[in-house]
Structures are given as C-alpha cells and as structure tokens.
Amino acid sequence: MQKALFFFILGMIIHPLTAQKELTVESIWKKYEFYSQGVSGFNGMNDGIHFTKLTEDKGKQSITKHKITDYAGSGDVLVKSEELIYNGKSIDVSDYQFNEDESKILLITEETSIYRRSYNAVHYLMDMKTKKIEPLDTEHSPQTLAEYSPDGMKVSYIYKNDLFVKDLASGKVKQLTEDGKKNKVINGTTDWVYEEEFALTKAYDWSPDSKTIAFLRFNEKKVKEFTMTYYKNELYPEEYTFKYPKAGEENSKVTLHTVSVSKGKVSNINLGEYEYIPRLTYSPIDNQLIVQTLNRHQNHVKYHIINTSAKKPVSKVFHEEIDKAYVEIDDNLLILNDGKSLIRTSEKDGYNHIYKVGFDGSTTQITKGSWDVIELHGIDTKNENIYFSSAEFGTISKTISKIRVDGSNKTLISSDHGYNDAEFTNGMNYFVKTYSDANRPPVSTLCDNAGKELAVLQDNSALNEKLSSYTLGKKEFFTLELEGRSLNAWMLKPANFDPAKKYPVYMIVYGGPGHNEVIDSWGGMNLMYHQLLAQKGYIVVSVDPRGTMYRGAEFKKSTYLQLGKLETEDFIDAAKYLQKQSYIDPARIGIQGWSYGGFMSSLCITKGADVFKAAIAVAPVTNWKFYDNIYTERFMRTPEENPNGYEENSPVNFAKLLKGKYLLIHGSGDDNVHYQNTMEMINAMVAADKDFEHFIYPNKNHGIYGGNTRNHLFRMMLNFTMENL
C-alpha cells in the first residue's frame, strides 16, 4: 500500500513536469512531429464495394484490392512489386488509373511540377491479364493529362502543347494538333491564369463513344510575358519566362474545337461573344458537349449545349445567369443520365443553392434557406439522391447532407458541428468521412450513404498521444459586434491564462474572397505554431471580415470594386475592440498574413498605424495592378474602369503612415504573387524614409517551402514577433 502511494505521489510530481513540455519551431516545421495522417489511395472500383490502393512494404510497391467493409484487411494483391518492373528497373509509381472495364492500368511516374496544379510525368501501360508493361510513348515524353478513352482502347495526352492519342491495339501514336508551341499556342491544356484562377488544367474531354475529343486552344501570342530569375549556384542565373496577363492586360484568345480521333480532322465551334471558356464536359449518355462561357467582367455566364455527332455542330445557349458583381465558376456541376438536364449551384436567391437546369431552359430550385451549399459530392442516380456539403448549421462548420432531386427528404448524414469532408466511392454507396474540430485532429471513418459509420480508418491516435504531453490552449469561437457588423472570430489563449494579467495579441489574418480562417476545423501545423505563440505568452486571434465565405452573396460581395477597404476597417475595429479588454495590453497588438493576408497586414500597419505595433507580410499583393487579370478583374474590374478602387487600397500608397515594425518576406520564384509586389513596397518605404525589415527566399514559390525553408521562415517570424511585440 505504501509502495503504491509512493508511485502515485511520484506520478503527481512528474506529470506536471512532462505536461509543461515546450513546443519549438523545429519540432513543428523541421521534424514535422505534429503532422496529421489521412486516408490516401482510396480508389473505388466499378462494383461499388471494392477499392484499390498503392501499398508500400519495406520500400516495395504493390497495388492491392480491398473490400470496402473490411478496410483493415490485408486485401488481395492485384499487381505484385516484382511486376512493377520495366527493362529490369523498378517503376516508382506515384499514382495510377484504370480504364473503364478495369482491364488495364495507366501508371504515373517521375512527376515534375509545372505550376500549382499541373505537372509532367512519365506514363506506363499495364495489361491486367498478362501483366505486360510498356511505356506510353518514349518519343513524346514526359506527358501531361494522360487518360484512357471511355472504351478503354486508346490513351490521350498532351506533349509540348499538342494533343496526342495512342491506339492500344496497334500501338500507333497519332498527333491530333500540330501548332502547339511554348508561349505561343496551347492545345488541350491551359495557360497559367486559367490553371490558377479557374482551377482548370485539363482542357479536353472525350465523347462517350470515344470517337471525338473536344478541346480548347489558347493563342497566347499577344499576352505579355513575365520573367523570373533562378539562382542555382552557377556562374550565371537562369531566367524563366512565361505568359502572365496582369489586370487590364490582354488575355489568351481561347477557342473551342473538336477533333475526329480516326481522321484527325479538327473542327471549330462558334460560341458567339465571350472572353473565357472556364468549363467543358461531355454528357455521360450522348455526344452532348456542355460548355460554359464567361464575359470579361465575369458577371454573365452562358451554358451551351453542342451535339458533336452532327455534321456541322452548332452551339445552343440553354441557360445563362447575370449578377451585378460576379458569378462563381466552380466544379459544382453534375450532368444527369437522363440526357436532358444537369445539377448546378447558384447564388441567385442570395445564398448558394442547388438547382436542376434542363437543356430546354427550365430551372427548378432544390435546396433553400439562409445558408450556403459548399460542395456537390455526387448523385446516386438509382435513388435520385444528391450528396452535398453546406454551412447550414453555422458558417464555421461544414456538414454533409443528402436530398432528393425533387427537393424532398433532405437528411443530415454527418455531425452537425465541426468540419466534415466526404469522398464517395463509385456508385455513391459508401464514403470516407474526415471529421475534425478546432481542437481535435482529423478522424477518418468509412460510412454508408446514410451516414452510418462502419469502420475507423485513421484516428490519428499517435498524434493525440503526442499532443497529450503538452499543455495547450483551446480555440474559443466568438462573434464580434462592431457598429452593426457581426464578424466571426476565434481566440487562442495561453493554457495558463490569468485574467488579471495583460497579454500581447498576435492577429493571424487572410480576409480575401474564397477563404475563411474562422472555421471549426483542425488547423494542422499552423495551429501548432499558434500554440507555440500562446506558450510564449501571446493571445492569438483571427477574424473573418466582410467579403469572406458562407454568409450569403451580399456579405461575400460587399467588397466588390474595393478590395481591402472594408476588410481593413474590420481588422482595425477588431483590434480596437481587443484593446478595450481588461486582459489585453492595448499597446501590443500585431498582425500577420500570407498572400491576401500579407496585403491585409500591410494595409493594417499603415492605415492602422495607431493601433498595430508590428506586422508581418508574407508574399503580399501590394497593388492589384500587379496581379493576374482573372482574379483581380472579377472583384475590381480593370484599372482603367476602377482607378480609385485600385489606388485607394494599395499599401504602396500608404507607406508614409507607417509607425510600427514591419517585416516583408517573399520568395523570388513566386509565379503567383510576383516578387515585384514586394520590390514596389520597398521602393515606397524608401521614398517615405521608413525603416523596415525584409527577407527574400531565393527560387521559392508562393508556398515558400522545401528543405529547411519553413523551419527558417517560422523561426525568423517568431524572433521578429518576440523582439517587436
């Protein structure tokens, strides 16, 4: 009994010591000790009850087949590691895809990134019966956007801006376009700005009968070029030049075409007047091509239908939408198997909701209410259920629901709080649900389509155990009431918070369209850095200003034509609110943001110079005239049309107001927000005779990562914060 009591008392003494373990930048951003695990490689098969995955064991790869309801099982080996060999050399597979009848596999290897979403890769073909492997095309390699035709008898791909097709029976390769040339003409894939702002890289699609390919052609000849310099430890640096249309500048001329795969004949399709073609896709039933066109102001979208089997295909506009600000282009579009209609989302009633749109022009609203649909996950055509995620139960949450096509029987199939993501299998009978909240790492479970959890696939137990050895604060959500404005916010206090003390505040912001910081979701590595700041004695706060998501179209589009104005006012007023709290030191409020957030922190340290003591701006936009035209003009129109909107909210014009400490950080290889933005801000600071700090990461892109980069970056930001806030 005395021995047991001794160990109990010893445990009570030791536990507080181990619980006070301190976070470090190195543990977060170099050792990645707090990286959460997900479920990858969940590739559903045609039968709807099995999936395949890429499996690694002791450095060897194989492809295994598993029954969905028995995920934990070892499964059957479809492709052995010793079969993933070509010419005596093992193939390192990064991804793969089956053809329609699952008799062949396309193996993707040696990926090299181009921009944010695009990449080149070396592809191999494997016959599942014979296990024979052959290169897709050794002469035209590496390729991009390779895929099987619907009948599984051909593979299409892009090589050096031209479209190719390989016939699997004969092995012959046919080049379908011949005018592709770097920085001149692109066929079948997209230019930089389409990839970045329309999230579109694959600009071609097969007809269901596998006889025709519809594709976009980009004529970039009149688009101005941007050059970045790369420093690679050689005598002379290397220059990289690409087409980048800035606000108000000329775009690629994009046209729609079809090509006969057998004859190689290219046809042009007239779509009338437009500036952009942001989406194209075939109906799964007939050779009906659905195409969206958009005007330069991006406030008028048209839906076209084209029968590409006709001798002279003609475009017919069957639906269009006009908005006083802009319309959203996204992937919330499902074409029904009836050959007569599609499912899409629209904000035309003030909130983002689901509509059924007939090819005859009819429209029926399916969901209704003062909440936004976030994403369409798919449709169970047998039972006519649409599966979607929404912010119905609060703008900081994401839930999964289903509803019948006729708008009846809407049912919640996930938790009504926290963040719920879904990845459905073929047939829509099962889905992988990934749930987290602000203070708990993700848990991935296998669910049936009624939401019943069948198995836990990943619970991040190792991460939870590691977190238990630290004394951490908890994110608390609250609403800021600022002169009639209600803004969502969260606060992270030190775990040993004492209301009698006064704490400095570190505001982390983004604030731009299309992204919310204030969500009830696990924040990953960034959260752990915020926990580190809390351990150092800072209160970390984030606010979503006007212009952010999931509060209806009016709230989101309130910043139209004046990006930066209302958001800056909201952040400054939020800081003033914090200054009045008894536990906050009013003289020690700082702000940090990345990208649009860097734009915000730069405006706040200048326009809000009497409120903010310090600011960190990472990869900031400093004048919207330097940014790409699709994004910028969507919210601002052109500099010629809206000169005041550009100039009155550009940080370069307010450098003279700076009083606090200011740190500018950028990657010199940022193809998105060009380093030019930071250079112009430096010029403005020098002209205004203001002191500031600046750091450049050579060759790093907008994400500023790779090797020891993130560790160095966050250590520098921490040191700056502790020295100046």
Mean predicted confidence (pLDDT) in 398-413 = 97
| Residue 15 confidence (pLDDT) | 46
Paired tokens of 457 = 């696939």
Handedness of CA 578, 582, 588, 590 (dihedral sign): negative
Residue 6 has pLDDT above 90, yes or no: no
Which of left, alpha, beta for 87 (phi over 0: left; psi -120 to 50: alpha)? left
pLDDT classification of 426: cutoffs 50, 70, 90: confident
Average pLDDT in the chain: 94
| Residue 60 confidence (pLDDT) | 87
Residue 359 has pLDDT above 70, yes or no: yes
For residue 681, which of 721, 720, 650 has the smallest C-alpha distance?
650
Rounded to the nearest 10 degrees, how much is the dihedral formed by the CA atoms of 683, 686, 692, 695?
40
Burial of 232 (0-12, 13-18, 19+ CB in 10 A): exposed
Mean predicted confidence (pLDDT) in 621-627 = 97
Question: Would you tell me the crossing angle of helices 565-579 and 596-607 to the nearest 10 degrees?
Answer: 60
Residue 18 has pLDDT above 70, yes or no: no
Query: Any residues with CB less than 8 A from the CB of 17 and at least 6 apart, and which?
Result: none
Paired tokens of 245 = 């249309």
Query: Is beta strand 693-697 parallel, antiparallel or unpaired with respect to 661-667?
Result: parallel
SS3 of residue 493 by DSSP: coil
Poorest-pLDDT segment among 64-68, 158-162, 196-200, 668-672: 64-68
Return the HEC string of 374-420. Answer: EEEEEEECCCCEEEEEECCCCCCCEEEEEEECCCCCCEECCCCCCEE
| Residue 331 confidence (pLDDT) | 92
Query: Any residues with CB less than 8 A from the CB of 543 and at least 6 apart, and which?
Result: 480, 487, 488, 489, 507, 509, 517, 518, 570, 571, 574
Strands annotated E in 459-498: 475-482, 485-492
Mean predicted confidence (pLDDT) in 461-466 = 96
| Residue 8 confidence (pLDDT) | 43
Are 493 and 472 a contacting pair, CB within 8 Å? no
Residue 17 has pLDDT above 50, yes or no: no
pLDDT classification of 70: cutoffs 50, 70, 90: confident
> Which residues lie across from 703 on neighbouring strands?
none
Report how far residue 99's alpha carbon sits from residue 148's, in angstroms, rounded to the nearest whole number: 6
Poorest-pLDDT segment among 12-21, 423-432, 494-503, 572-581: 12-21
Handedness of CA 81, 85, 88, 89 (dihedral sign): negative
Mean predicted confidence (pLDDT) in 332-349 = 94
Residue 218 has pLDDT above 80, yes or no: yes
Are 627 and 246 a contacting pair, CB within 8 Å? yes
Residue with tokens 């892109």: 701
Q: Of all residues in the chain, what percent carry a pLDDT higher than 70?
A: 97
Query: Any residues with CB less than 8 A from the CB of 151 and at least 6 apart, and which?
Result: 100, 209, 210
Mean predicted confidence (pLDDT) in 162-185 = 96
pLDDT classification of 54: cutoffs 50, 70, 90: confident
pLDDT in tens, 76-100: 899 999 999 999 899 999 999 999 9
| Residue 20 confidence (pLDDT) | 64
pLDDT in tens, 224-273: 999 999 999 899 999 999 999 999 999 999 999 999 999 999 999 999 99
Mean predicted confidence (pLDDT) in 168-194 = 96
> Which pairs count as long-range contacts for 296-301, CB under 8 Å and 24+ apart, including other chains?
296/633, 297/326, 297/633, 297/637, 298/326, 298/327, 298/329, 298/630, 298/633, 298/634, 299/323, 299/324, 299/325, 299/326, 299/327, 300/327, 301/327, 301/329
Residue 2 has pLDDT above 50, yes or no: no
| Residue 73 confidence (pLDDT) | 66
| Residue 301 confidence (pLDDT) | 98
Report how far residue 554's alpha carbon sits from residue 551's, in angstroms, rounded to the nearest whole number: 8
How far does the chain reach from its first CA to its final CA, in angstroms? 52
**Complete domains list, the chain, with CATH:** 463-724 (3.40.50.1820)
For residue 369, which of 382, 343, 388 has the smallest C-alpha distance?
388
Q: Of all residues in the chain, what percent carry a pLDDT higher than 90?
A: 88
Residue 666 has pLDDT above 50, yes or no: yes
Mean predicted confidence (pLDDT) in 473-492 = 96
| Residue 12 confidence (pLDDT) | 47
Instruction: Report pTM.
Output: 0.94
> Which residues lie across from 421 on neighbouring strands?
434
Poorest-pLDDT segment among 72-81, 284-293, 302-311, 385-394: 72-81
Residue 31 has pLDDT above 90, yes or no: yes
Which of left, alpha, beta for 702 (phi over 0: left; psi -120 to 50: alpha)? alpha
pLDDT in tens, 126-142: 999 999 999 999 999 99
Report how far residue 243's alpha carbon sits from residue 193's, in angstroms, rounded to the nearest whole number: 9
Mean predicted confidence (pLDDT) in 29-38 = 95
Cα 657 to chain center, whole Å? 35
Residue 547 has pLDDT above 50, yes or no: yes
Residue 221 has pLDDT above 80, yes or no: yes
DSSP state string for 88-132? TEE--EEEEEE-TTSSEEEEEEEEEE-SSS-EEEEEEEEETTT--
| Residue 293 confidence (pLDDT) | 98
Q: How many helices (H) and strands (E) does the chain have?
A: 12, 45
Rounded to the nearest 10 degrees, how much is the dihedral formed by the CA atoms of 288, 201, 250, 598?
130
